[in-house]
Amino acid sequence: MRPSRSRLPRLKQLALSAARAITVVLVSASCVAAWAETYPSRPVKIVIPFAAGGSNDTVGRFLGDELQKKLRQPFVVENRGGAGGVVGSESVAKAPADGYTLLLVSTPHVANPSIYKKMPYDALKSFAPVARLMAAPVVITSTPSLGFQTVDDLVKSAKSQPGKLSFVSSGTGSYFHLASEMFMDQTKTKLLHIPYKGAGPAMADVVAGHANISIGSVLSSLPNVKSGRLKALAVSGTKRQSSMPDVPTMAEAGYPGYEADNWWGLLAPAGTPAEVIDTLSRAIGEIMAAPTTAARFAPEGVLVSYQKPGEFARFMETETVKWTQIIKAAGITAE
């Protein structure tokens, strides 16, 4: 039975609409595929929200070099310090969400919202997680003149004279300040905080005997431990450090709840296409899985701890809760 003449225009219109819809779907699919295949097609910037030097710089520049080899485009590192990482992070939060401006973050990223009264971005919602990269434990050290051999020696002394023993940090609200506050929370002790403008001056004063305790990175502490100028009492984390095999973990010392590892990850502005995030995350996964990466960082006390975007997002949420509790309990606020 043939359709009536009155129905023919309607059928043609429906057919034309269907054809257009199919065309749109095909074009969209081809655009997505093309985006994924061509990214990156020009230089990519990785913002490190801290001054040059230090662990953030080391990890960020290593990542930039390796991504450049893997994705065959320049990955340019830009140090943009200020306000504990807030200045550089804000610049990325407000950058175009196209994958060409990225942010290297560490533990302070999730702690800053509890330290600063006003934040120009949301630490979680303003960014798209790309990957978690690495983590590093802290090492608790003391001046040898104190005679401490174990964490218990330190704890007993601190409890017998609250607020007399001093600890150093690279500044109020810095990662090492937070790790020290967590130590006091876990051990129920009270130490005197002496903030410095950088980890170098802080460590120098402990070595010189002007301060008593340092809870800092393995990298900056190791030379002084090996030379005998500092005594290592324990490291955070679940395993002993290969560079300090005789130093027990905090769990072995009787404080299994002390989880103060620093970590590094890569973020992009919120709204960055999923295909771009996937391209970056897969490349980073391959870089982190390479034996040369572990070999490069193990002597510095840094361990590979790669996580995909979803895992990294959940991890940051957990870290936010953990450090918020420590910061509020200690009453830490930005200077």
Q: What is the pLDDT along the chain (335 residues), one digit of tens a residue?
A: 555 555 545 545 655 555 555 544 444 444 444 444 599 999 999 999 988 877 888 999 999 999 999 999 999 999 998 888 999 999 999 999 999 999 999 999 999 999 998 999 999 999 999 999 999 999 999 999 999 999 999 999 999 999 999 999 988 888 899 999 999 999 999 999 999 877 788 888 999 999 999 998 887 888 899 999 999 999 998 889 888 999 999 999 999 989 898 999 999 999 999 999 999 999 999 999 999 999 999 888 899 999 999 999 999 999 999 999 999 999 998 86
CB hemisphere CA count around 146 (13 angstroms): 30
pTM, rounded to two decimals: 0.82
90 touches 121 (CB < 8 A): yes
**Cβ neighbours, 10 Å, residue 208:** 10
Cα–Cα distances in angstroms (integers) from residue 157 to residues 141, 150, 165, 298, in the given order: 14, 11, 8, 33
- β-strand partners of 249: 235
d(CA 125, CA 123): 6
Q: Where are the beta strands (DSSP E) in the chain?
A: 44-48, 75-79, 101-106, 127-136, 138-142, 166-169, 192-195, 213-217, 231-235, 262-269, 303-307
In whole angstroms, give the CA distance from residue 213 to residue 327.
Answer: 20
d(CA 262, CA 121): 22
